[in-house]
Amino acid sequence: MASLSDSYPLPSYAAYIWLKGDQVCLSFPGQNGARAHQVQLPLNEAGLKCLVDILKGREQNEVWLARAGAPTKRQVEEDLKKDAQYNAWLKAMRTSQKEKDEATKFLEELGL
């Protein structure tokens, strides 16, 4: 079994990954002077499947923007639209106008 030090330096297709609440964040370094970009995936089965597909694409040198290894936010959202759990999460994240008005009123009462 190879040790971690055997794999340095990192391969050119490496990406940064971290958790942020209930999301997996994935940042892709820019290629040939292009800017880096980032996508977020839900921390659920569909999001993790999408993450693995992206990482497989990166390993196959599909690292250019909008390709399998570096999809855009819109491409990720299109992939996840079929997932009921993701859609329920999106619905829960939406704030109604009534909720916004209540929050504004509350902040005004606090003098903010």
64 located within any domain: yes
| Identity at 17, one-letter amino acid code | I
* Cα 77 to chain centroid, rounded: 9
90 located within any domain: no
Would you place residue 1 in the very low, low, confident or very high pLDDT band (cuts 50, 70, 90)?
A: low
Domain count, the chain: 1
pTM above 0.75, yes or no: no
91 located within any domain: no
What is the spatial distance between Cα 110 and Cα 71, in angstroms, rounded to a whole number? 43
93 located within any domain: no
Name the residue range of residue 56's domain: 4-83
24 located within any domain: yes
> pLDDT tens across 51-109, in order?
998 888 888 776 666 676 777 788 888 878 877 777 777 777 777 778 888 888 888 88
Please count the helices (runs of H) and the strands (runs of E) in the chain: 4, 3
